[in-house]
Structure 1
Amino acid sequence: MEKDKSKALNRSRSTVRARERSAGSVKDDLPYEITIAILGGPQVGKSAIASQFLWEGFVSDYKPTVEEFNWVEFEMTLGGRLMLQIIDSSGSRDFIAMRDLYMRTADAFIIVFSVDDPLSFEEAKSIIQDIKSQRRSKAPIILLANKKDLFDERSDWRVKGIERYAINEGIRLMECTAKRREEVDMAFRELLEELRETRHLQATELKKRRQSMPTTRTRPGELINQDFDKKKHTCAIS
């Protein structure tokens, strides 16, 4: 386990260093780079959300994540390219050093909790507090309530006090089921909109140009209603 954690952390640091060297380099015609980290406790649906956004399919089988890096390159309507890196992090505290690294280096965050698990909401609040305490500058955060399809009414959710917490912390609260692509896409669109305002990103619509493919941990055969070879994905921000 310690060997796996060391390898993963070194890989994370290498990726961050590479991103920092290349970001904003107009001379080399490199894309503008943004990193979004998906954080949360175990089994809240982080990998399912990442897979839905990246490959338009729902991962039905749970497999613990150590670390997954994926990317999407978009063409921007006003010219240029945007390289969006998605970090699907481990929910286990065995990999806390990796999570701390993401908190310091990512450009924006999606913090996920499950509406049927009050402890996952407490973990989400702890993560948000850690992000705010570790960073020198404010970063956009979306607090994403996942698995809403488990209940007919929002009042039936086992997690309470969500709206009040989000208002007090000044962060955006959204809800979804990872089974519905449009709901997952909306969370990413809102986060990109906040990034556009804070990073002066000149784009109104992003058209997917190319992207990483599913790893052996998330094989195409495990994605439900997934057809990433045929679909062209756009992400509009207004």
Structure 2
Amino acid sequence: MSELDSNCLIPVLGSGYVGKSSILKRYLHGTFSKRYSETVEEMHVQQYSINGKRRYMNFLDTAGNIYFPAMRKIYFSKALGFILVYSICDARSFEEIKRIWEQIKSIRENVLSIPCVVVGNTLDSENNREVETFDALGWACSENLGGCFLEVSAKDNNAVNEIFDILLEQLGNTRAKQATTFRIRSTSFTRKDDKRQKNKHIKTKRTKTFEKVEASSKRFQNTMFEDYKETYIYKVQQKQNKIQKSYFFKGAQYMKSKETVCCRELEHTSSLKTGAGERKKCQGLKKLNKLLSNLFKRKD
């Protein structure tokens, strides 16, 4: 992990309308929207604590259509890892991630050491399935990605966090070459241990929560990786309610100071004028400023 940069690029790749944005928003913000808006490019930054060091993962939400093929080649050559997303209801989207993976292999050397996850989204639409689970799993195993394949539902929040758990667990490790014969124990279905504890949340006084990234079972690690190196990874979550409160407080203070400055300027200009009407106007502004101050004190 000593070679890991403080800022790391993780592109999320796949066809349009497969749920790449929905997966990221569900994982990072816990939200989901049924509205579809075509993404050009959007960067999402998530902070982690990796072996006690602060690291930032830059998850790049890419366009479904290839608007900038030259930029895509840069992603392939510079990225730390990849998330390949298809829809189980769209066979063409599955063929697309196969093409993307072939392009990655043509540019990068030693792909076994590159973190990658193959994701079949829209599991909530099982009745419209076009890509069978074991067909996709068979291809993943042939590419030494059997332990990095899973099906999820961003809509139902089903197994979304596990995508990123699998991705992060590969940091600093090399996937082992899998046998040509399909073996269920070398797939992500055997990743977890039934006796595993749930993710732990560690709270600090600085309005942050550290959520431990769930590691796989020892048996899975020994099967999937060569000389597995354990890494302690925590996802850093800000407490949104306290952050919003602090922003509101700062905004209130700024508005109070602004109103005070405005009133002082009016007092100065009114002193230069002898009209009784101007003095009354300034007194009215003073009262207004006092009311605003009391209002902000109550909200604070």
Encode CA deviations 1:27-84: one digit per residue, 9 max, x unaligned.
xxxxx332211000111111111111111111321111111111011234x4221111
Q: Corresponding residue for 1:114?
A: 87
Q: Corresponding residue for 2:149?
A: 173
- Distance in structure 2 (CA, Å) of the matches to 1:182 and 1:164: 22
Equivalent runs, 1:216-231 vs 2, <5 Å: 229-230=240-241
Q: Corresponding residue for 1:13?
A: none
Residue 55 of structure 2 aligns to a residue whose secondary structure is strand
Equivalent runs, 1:117-128 vs 2, <5 Å: 117-128=90-101
- Amino acid in structure 2 at the alignment position of 1:91: G
Alpha-carbon distance, 1:196 to partner: 4.0
1:159 to 131, 149, 154: 131
Report the structure, 1 or 2, having the larger strand content. 1
| Higher mean C-alpha deviation, range 110-119 or range 159-168 | 159-168
Q: Corresponding residue for 1:37?
A: 11
Rg (Cα) greater in structure: 2
Q: Corresponding residue for 1:141?
A: 116
- Distance in structure 2 (CA, Å) of the matches to 1:124 and 1:61: 24
Could you tell me the percent identity over the aligned residues? 32
Q: Is the 8 A contact 1:69 1:87 kept in 2?
A: yes
1:48 to 12, 22, 35: 22
- Amino acid in structure 2 at the alignment position of 1:101: I
Q: Is the 8 A contact 1:34 1:83 kept in 2?
A: yes
Residue 173 of structure 2 aligns to a residue whose secondary structure is helix
CA RMSD, 1 decimal: 2.5
List alignment gaps of at least 5 residues for structure 2.
175-227, 243-300
Shift >6 Å, 4+ stretches: none
Do structure 1's residue 195 and structure 2's residue 171 form an aligned pair? yes
Q: Is the 8 A contact 2:169 2:231 kept in 1?
A: no
Q: Corresponding residue for 1:65?
A: 39
- Amino acid in structure 1 at the alignment position of 2:163: A
Q: Is the 8 A contact 1:75 1:209 kept in 2?
A: no
1:90–1:176 CA distance, 2 compared to 1 (3 A): same
- Distance in structure 2 (CA, Å) of the matches to 1:126 and 1:42: 15
Taking structure 1 as the reference length, the TM-score comes to 0.69
- Distance in structure 1 (CA, Å) of the matches to 2:136 and 2:61: 23
More relative contact order, 1 or 2 (CA 8 Å, 6+ apart): 1
Report the structure, 1 or 2, having the larger helix content. 2
